[in-house]
Chains A and B, each alone.
Chain A
Amino acid sequence: GAGVSQSPRYKVTKRGQDVALRCDPISGHVSLYWYRQALGQGPEFLTYFNYEAQQDKSGLPNDRFSAERPEGSISTLTIQRTEQRDSAMYRCASSLGSGRSTYNEQFFGPGTRLTVL
C-alpha cells in the first residue's frame, strides 16, 4: 500500500505476556519512528531508526521495551512481561530521508491499540 501500515490494529493481552507490534513503513523511507500515545495525551517518542541502525532509544520507558529493524524496512516493537500501564496506542511513522539540512515529513500509521488486562 501507499501508506504506513501497522499490525495488529488491536491487541488485547494478559499481564505478563510478551507482545510484538509490527510497522511496515512507506517503501523507500529511510527513517522509522515509534511513539506511544496514552489516552488523552499527545504521542510520546520511544525510539527511531535510520535504515537498520537504532539512532535513539532514549524514550523507551524501561528494559522490557525493545525495537529492531533488521533489514532497514519493517520494524518490530516488542514489550516483554506486559503490565497494565503499558496499555496505550502505539504509533509508527516513517520519513523519506536522513539528511540533516532538510525537513523530512513524518507519515504516521493508524496505530496499534494495546490493552493489557
Chain B
Amino acid sequence: AQSVTQLDSHVSVSEGTPVLLRCNYSSSYSPSLFWYVQHPNKGLQLLLKYTSAATLVKGINGFEAEFKKSETSFHLTKPSAHMSDAAEYFCVVSDNSGNTPLVFGKGTRLSVIA
C-alpha cells in the first residue's frame, strides 16, 4: 500500500521569501513521486516528478523537490515566492510500474502575502 502525508494543511509566506511544502511518503515499492498544483477553478497541473533518476528534481515555475529515501520525504521548495504561486499543492505517489493510479495527499494550501 502507498500513502503520502502532507504535514501542513496551510502555509503562508510573504512574497519574495522561500517556500517549503513538506511531504512524507510510504510505499512498498520503489515509488514515483509527484507534485501537482491546483489553482482556483482550474484543473490539476503537474509541477514536477521523480521516477528514480536524479534525486533533485526541477519543475516548472522555479519549484524543486528532493527525493530523500532515508527520510521518506519529497519536500517541495522554491527560493522566492510570487503572488501567482498561491494555490493548492498535492504531493502524489504511485508505484514505479508505469500505468497505475495516483495516490494523493490531502493537499497544502499556499497563501502568499504581499
Contact = CB atoms under 8 A, between A and B. Distances in A.
A95 interface: yes
Interface of A: 30-31, 33, 35, 40-45, 48, 50, 56, 59, 91, 93, 95, 97-106, 108-111
A116 to B, nearest CB: 21
A42 B99 contact: no
A72 B104 CA distance: 26
B43 A111 contact: yes
Closest 8 CB pairs between A and B?
A42-B104, A45-B101, A108-B44, A100-B98, A100-B97, A103-B51, A110-B43, A108-B43
B43 A102 contact: no
A110 B42 contact: yes
Interface string B92-114: 10001111011111110000000
Contacts of B101: 33, 45, 48, 56, 59
A91 B102 CA distance: 12
Contacts of B104: 35, 42-44
Contact of A97 (B90, B92, B98, B106): B98
A54 to B, nearest CB: 13
